[in-house]
Amino acid sequence: MTAAGLKRGDRVEHPKLGLGEVTGLEGDKAQIFFVDSGPRTILTSRFPLAPLVPRPSHWRLDGMDLAAAKPTSTYRSARDFVEAFVGQYPDGFNDGEFIKGERRYKADAHEAALDLLAEDKLSELLDAGRYGDACLRARDTMKLVNVVDWRESQPLWSGVLDDPGCEEAFAKRLHALLYGQRSEQHRFEAFSALMEELSVPKWPICTFWRWIVFPRQEVFVKPESVKSAADAWSYDVGYSPHPSWAGYRRIREFCQHVREELADLEPRDFIDVQTFMWLCTWYRNE
């Protein structure tokens, strides 16, 4: 089969380059974006390719703007990133230097957060009407790890701790966000709506507490880091500066895809995964 037998959007399997998607055709030349090597031009008269049926799914091809795909020189596959990471940390996520420099302070903050924001303790404070104390615990948790810019968090604490009504609203929404029985979407949107009312509708503030308490399931959204990681992986997360449930789900799915690519390295949680993703922004340019 020649290039005439292919069309844009077809998924193909090359014997050496693996899975790819046809992005353009000209005579017997097919422009194909390969998962493991990026965009290439293939002479189909030499390497006949047939469209795969059924059309296979792959998260990088599905989530990429192939029309704006990076040239081969800057594209990095999952294998490229893993090799760079292991080159820096030979024992992977268990490497002593990784734990010392990248993980320990976040893991320690997580352990402290489990105590400060334990469900029984927050419930006891709310039942006693001690909303201010619950807010102070949330603030102290944020102080444990320097991931939220104080210029973003300070307006929150100024607004909450100076107003008893805001203290109550924040304490109740935080408890619901962490331990409520309603859907994830409802809890996220209710908490984000309160942040909007308090004039701090910021991604780091809306995602910090679920991440620090539940890092195995939840991700932390720091805009520049997320955008840089998405760019390094050539993945379109559909980023919007305004927090939304749809946006959060898309970013979490991106992180989960990367987590699955790292299965052999056995990341413990999204602390490991998101640290790896941030390092990828440096590996991309090496």
* 197, pLDDT greater than 90: yes
* 40, pLDDT greater than 80: yes
Cβ atoms 242, 202 nearer than 8 A: no
User: What single-letter DSSP state applies at residue 147?
Assistant: T
Q: What is the mean pLDDT of the chain?
A: 93
pLDDT at 114: 98
pLDDT at 1: 45
Q: What tokens were used for 126? A: 């709310």
- Model confidence at 96, pLDDT cuts 50, 70, 90, reads very high
Average pLDDT over residues 116-129: 98
Domains of the chain and any CATH numbers: 3-68 (2.30.30), 78-95+217-283 (no CATH), 111-203 (no CATH)
pLDDT at 47: 85
Kindly report, residue by residue over 10-20, the tens digit of the pLDDT.
999 999 999 99
Kindly report, residue by residue over 171-195, the tens digit of the pLDDT.
999 999 999 999 999 999 999 999 9
* 27, pLDDT greater than 80: yes
Residue 207: half-sphere exposure toward Cβ, Cα within 13 Å? 24
Lowest mean pLDDT among 32-46, 127-141, 168-182: 32-46
Residue with tokens 């100024």: 158
Average pLDDT over residues 248-258: 97
Residue 245 CA to residue 254 CA, distance in Å, equals 14
Percentage of residues in the chain with pLDDT exceeding 70?
A: 96
DSSP 82-108: HHHHHHH-TTGGG-HHHIIIIIHHHHH
Kindly report, residue by residue over 225-236, the tens digit of the pLDDT.
999 999 889 889
User: In a 3-state reduction of DSSP, which class is residue 252?
Assistant: helix
Kindly report, residue by residue over 57-95, the tens digit of the pLDDT.
999 999 887 766 656 667 889 999 999 999 999 999 999
Nearest to 111 by CA among 214, 252, 180: 214
